Amino acid sequence: MYINFDAISSGQAYACMTRTLLPRPIAWVLSENADGSHNLAPFSYFNAVCSDPPLIMLSIGRKPDGTPKDTRDNIVARSRFVVHIAHASQAEALNASAAGLAAGQSEATELGLATTPFEDFALPRLSDCRVAYACERYQVQYIGRQQQALILGQIHAAYIDDRIATQDAEGRLQVDAARLDPLCRLGGNDYASLHEILSLDRPD
């Protein structure tokens, strides 16, 4: 099959990309609404992009009615947000948090997801997530015909569950990926978890 991206719609391009760029990590993003409540939403156009400074990238589109998504507005207006790495047993809650709620409604509250203070950070983190990043807006660019928001966030701190993390003899962080068990995004309605993990030495 050959697909000419210059000859297809944006919807067709989205379908092709999200069904072939696999698996994708998911950012489960907690941000602050204007009334102080907490918005929670998943995004799979997400990854690490820089280490100095430590930056992650979120690409956030628009709601079906064309208006900006709440996460985008919250980050633009109030800067701080928390990115969580959900584990596979949180799949249903993560998927449910993608539902469209009225502005100011908290997905975390609606779904009964507990939060806990994030040390030295203004926003809390989800208690049951094994990894969370305390982030602040670094830069926002608007790209594409629909003005997708490309958000760069600077990581100021990370929470890593002690049960999945150790340090080697040289003090380097080691994370047990199987215990982290990150939820991965596939195409359509599909998700995946890790199965076989390969460990290969990098060539000199």
What percent of the chain is modeled with pLDDT above 90? 75
> What is the tens place of the pLDDT at every residue in 47-64?
999 999 999 999 999 888
Task: Please state the domain extents for the chain.
Answer: 24-189
Arithmetic mean of pLDDT over the chain: 92
Q: What is the mean pLDDT of residues 24-53?
A: 95
Q: How many helices (H) and strands (E) does the chain have?
A: 5, 14
Q: Tokens in use for 11? A: 């919807």
Range 141-168 average pLDDT: 94
Q: How confident is the model at residue 200 (pLDDT cuts 50, 70, 90)?
A: confident
The label of the residue with tokens 């002690």 reads 162
H/E element holding 12? helix 10-20
How far apart CA 191 and CA 77 sit, in angstroms, is: 31
**Is residue 74 predicted with pLDDT exceeding 90?**
yes
Spatial distance between the Cα atoms of 126 and 129, rounded to a whole number of angstroms: 6
Q: How many angstroms separate the CA atoms of 98 and 185, rounded?
A: 13
Spell out the residues 6+ positions from residue 3 whose beta carbon is closer than 8 angstroms to its own.
Answer: 16
The predicted model scores a pTM of: 0.93
CATH class of the domain at 24-189: mainly beta
pLDDT average, residue stretch 139-152? 94
The tens digit of pLDDT for each residue in 81-139 reads 999 999 999 999 999 999 877 777 788 888 999 999 999 999 999 999 999 999 999 99
**Do residues 22 and 187 touch, judged by C-beta distance below 8 A?**
yes
